[in-house]
């Protein structure tokens, strides 16, 4: 499954009254793994940022003056997000801005192009009701370092949100569900899972790891002044008849 963690920075808070996107960052996840195939644009909005917004992102009019207009990057952005599931913190804000920008260049809205939108702010409020659920607060809650985040930036915030999202959703899907998909048909009980169909990687211990393991067992033998239970269990398994 392809997912994109997305964030924007803007000149202000209201796209309907003329505020524009000035930065877009997308971080790609495939099967819950970061791929490094990210997308990042600074955008010339053709106007100044509101003082409050400028204090948040620090992207001055002078810095943005030689950057491409949204019309210049719209097609590449549309193609990049096509069919992907978007993960956004406070999604209505970013999606609303992108919808206005796409409409201005005659392109369809975000939800007509992407494969769905997940709002991590909604998820966080469900998980931690009554608590602060800003990106900074969630980073603190999940032990994710954001010490390098002195100003908001779309790509940096997307990278942090990707870590937060993975932490928030870890353990929701079992390995079997991930690999086999939904196995239960409507109106039926749980269908049997064909474990033979699973192709699990086999990780074999190295010689160094085996030596370290034996050293630990030797220490356990000395501690109990005999044979530790781990060696006994190993013998039982080794001597068990086939099919038992």
What is the spatial distance between Cα 78 and Cα 114, in angstroms, rounded to a whole number?
A: 8
Distance between alpha carbon 13 and the CA centroid of its chain, in Å? 25
Q: Where are the alpha helices (DSSP H) in 38-146?
A: 51-57, 61-64, 70-81, 91-104, 110-113, 120-127, 135-141
Q: How far apart are CA 74 and CA 89, in angstroms?
A: 21
| The three-state (H, E, C) secondary structure of 62-78, written as one string | HHHCCCCCHHHHHHHHH
How distant is the alpha carbon of residue 139 from its chain centre?
13
Measured CA angle at 44 (ends 43, 45), to 5 deg? 105
Residues involved in catalysis = 152
The Cα-based distances of 183 to 177, 197, 198 in angstroms read 8, 13, 13
């Amino acid at each position: 499954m392809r997912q994109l963690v997305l964030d924007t920075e803007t000149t202000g808070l209201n796209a309907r009254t003329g505020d524009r996107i000035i930065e877009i960052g997308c971080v790609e996840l495939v099967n819950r793994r970061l791929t490094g195939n990210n997308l990042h644009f600074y955008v010339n909005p053709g106007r100044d940022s509101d003082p409050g917004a400028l204090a948040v992102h620090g992207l001055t009019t002078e810095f943005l003056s030689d950057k491409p207009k949204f019309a210049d990057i719209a097609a590449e952005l549309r193609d990049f997000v096509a069919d992907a599931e978007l993960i956004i913190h406070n999604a209505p804000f970013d999606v609303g801005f992108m919808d206005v920008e796409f409409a201005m260049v005659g392109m369809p809205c975000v939800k007509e192009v992407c494969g769905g939108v997940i709002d991590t702010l909604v998820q966080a409020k469900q998980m931690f009701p009554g608590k602060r659920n800003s990106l900074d607060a969630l980073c603190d809650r999940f032990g994710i370092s954001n010490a390098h985040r002195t100003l908001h930036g779309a790509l940096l915030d997307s990278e942090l949100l990707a870590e937060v999202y993975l932490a928030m959703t870890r353990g929701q899907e079992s390995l079997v569900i991930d690999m086999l998909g939904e196995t239960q048909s409507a109106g039926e009980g749980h269908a049997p899972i064909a474990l033979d169909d699973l192709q699990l990687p086999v990780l074999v211990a190295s010689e160094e790891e085996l030596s370290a393991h034996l050293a630990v067992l030797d220490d356990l033998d000395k501690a109990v002044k005999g044979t530790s239970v781990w060696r006994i269990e190993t013998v039982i398994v080794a001597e068990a008849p086939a099919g038992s």
